[in-house]
A and B are shown apart, each in its own frame.
Chain A
């Protein structure tokens, strides 16, 4: 494994694994609440942060984190208050964020769109020591939230109205979800790039759904797929000299297609086994004695 001899590849692989874990871990809640494209929006907003980082000669990763967290909070507030014009406000936020990024980076001394490209599509080989530190800290936060609060986030993302009546702090949890998604975007920015971040949040979850029946299994499978494709993509890009971000995303979509093809016969077999295991399926409910007997068993 000569690939591990290089310090830059060690950093790249570490960053890739962390992205493979965190992006599906928060993405599953976004998919659950049917906001699959939220990550894409945050990615656009984060561009302003990258631009500001260059302009102010600050760390682009930390600036992007700050700006995308603010953007995510703004998106949540728009969702609460701007029910009717909400999508237009969001559109302005996204494209304003993108335009801001291009503007700031061109204003920065010696800055050009070329600097931006490595953030838009990922650039593993330029991941620095301080980038890795930032990515580790941010990834730790994401894992802590998505695993530690999984029951609360599940309830809020499944049915917000019901969650309110269980006394959960719905608004705080929504904000936390948005902030965590924003943090994940900046974790993944160096690996897959801002424009492709959303794919890693959504596609592994969609692929996992082909195999799973429960939320817990979907979560585990999605993270497994995420880690597999980020490592696979990083290694491929080392040997074949192809862009890592695009490789990772195409691998993820490939995984989705393979799992979908596998899942159809699997689902059929599962339905058949379920039918065999349940001797009294739906038609038998018409027969009153059988239904009573079944009820009796349940009651015991």
Chain B
């Protein structure tokens, strides 16, 4: 929150990035830079390539041309993953076997744990992350017993457990009830206030609108707009504009 974000160090930088899924080009040469302390929203219709753009940054989707850098290091050589917190696009935090909220969130701490051994400080960080999203009282519950919004809070706590400098979130508000949306907006506000950099994919700006410094709009794998959040999209956030995202409960994510 330096006010003038463009002068800060580039935390995420994509230059001329192209990516294909199968033989279909999904990204056709996009440029995107996120500076330290900025909150950047990646907007666009379904199929515009916003999730793919995020997934090239974390290395889940290979890049066919162009360069991706994290904290000034080419992605292929980047090792300092504890600086990055990632919230993938999911409707559930559950897997094929029951797991408690703490067990799921603890896996977010592995980037700071040596050989997968969690020490006292790591357990404390997990507890803090749960408190940040207001889930500390559910720590020992099975994630199967949670609502959709609570699942999302668990996924965000998992990303926060490593105390990252950069948060990358893919549609954190999809399928989230209003109470959880407010908790998430508050959590994000606190993170930004303490200096975190945020890149998030959004379907609409919604309750996060006041936090967004800059919006990048994609269409057909190209950058259509890069600047202040577009006003038209902002209206989607008005109270009473209800978006319902139907998701089949058993699926683990639209792209997984």
Contact = CB atoms under 8 A, between A and B. Distances in A.
Interface in B144-172: 145, 158, 162, 168
A84 B118 CA distance: 38
Nearest to B142: A213
A86 B23 CA distance: 17
B17 to A, nearest CB: 18
A158 interface: yes
A36 B55 CA distance: 27
Contacts of A228: none
B44 interface: no
A230 interface: no
Given A152-B116, A166-B111, A295 B99 contact: no
Interface string A105-123: 0000000000000000000
B254 interface: no
Interface residues of B, number: 45
A34 B96 contact: yes
Contacts of B81: 165-167
A152 B131 contact: no
A149 B137 contact: no
A168 B142 CA distance: 24
Contacts of A165: 58, 81, 84-86, 111, 168
Contact of B58 (A34, A161, A285, A299): A161
Interface string A261-279: 0000000000000100010
A298 interface: yes
Interface string B53-64: 001001110000
A68 interface: no
Which of the listed residues A162, A216, A285 has the most CB atoms from chain B within 10 Å of its own CB? A162
Given A149-B116, A151-B116, A215-B103, A166 B97 contact: no
Nearest to A36: B96
Contacts of A214: 98-100, 103, 140, 142
Contacts of B60: 161, 164
B103 A216 contact: yes
Interface stretch (A25-33, A69-77, A89-97, A239-247): A25-33
A278 B55 CA distance: 40
B134 interface: yes
A150 B113 CA distance: 13
Nearest to B141: A213
A166 B107 contact: yes
Interface string B73-110: 00000010110111010100101111110011011101
A146 interface: no
Given A158-B107, A162-B86, A166-B107, A209 B97 contact: yes
B82 A167 contact: yes
A205 interface: yes
Contact of B99 (A163, A167, A215, A299): A215
Nearest to B106: A151
B179 interface: yes
A8 interface: no
A158 B99 contact: yes
Interface in B121-138: 131, 134, 136-137
A166 B131 contact: no
B2 interface: no
A161 B99 CA distance: 18
B227 interface: no
A32 B131 contact: no
A37 interface: no
B134 A167 contact: no
B96 A159 contact: no
A86 B215 CA distance: 38
A25 B8 CA distance: 49
A174 interface: no
A162 B116 contact: no
A162 B97 contact: no
Which of the listed residues B81, B85, B99, B136 has the most CB atoms from chain A within 10 Å of its own CB? B99
Given A33-B95, A166-B81, 8 more contacts: A32-B96, A155-B110, A205-B97, A213-B98, A213-B141, A214-B98, A214-B140, A298-B136
Cβ-closest 7 pairs across A and B: A167-B81, A155-B107, A213-B142, A165-B86, A166-B111, A151-B116, A32-B97
27 contacts: A32-B96, A32-B97, A84-B22, A149-B116, A151-B113, A151-B117, A151-B118, A154-B107, A155-B107, A155-B110, A157-B95, A158-B99, A159-B88, A159-B107, A161-B60, A162-B108, A163-B110, A164-B58, A166-B162, A167-B81, A168-B110, A205-B97, A212-B98, A213-B140, A214-B98, A218-B97, A278-B137
Interface of B: 22, 55, 58-60, 79, 81-82, 84-86, 88, 90, 93, 95-100, 103-104, 106-108, 110-111, 113, 116-118, 131, 134, 136-137, 140-142, 145, 158, 162, 168, 179, 252, 256
Interface of A: 28, 31-34, 36, 84, 149-152, 154-155, 157-159, 161-168, 205, 209, 212-216, 218, 274, 278, 285, 295, 298-299
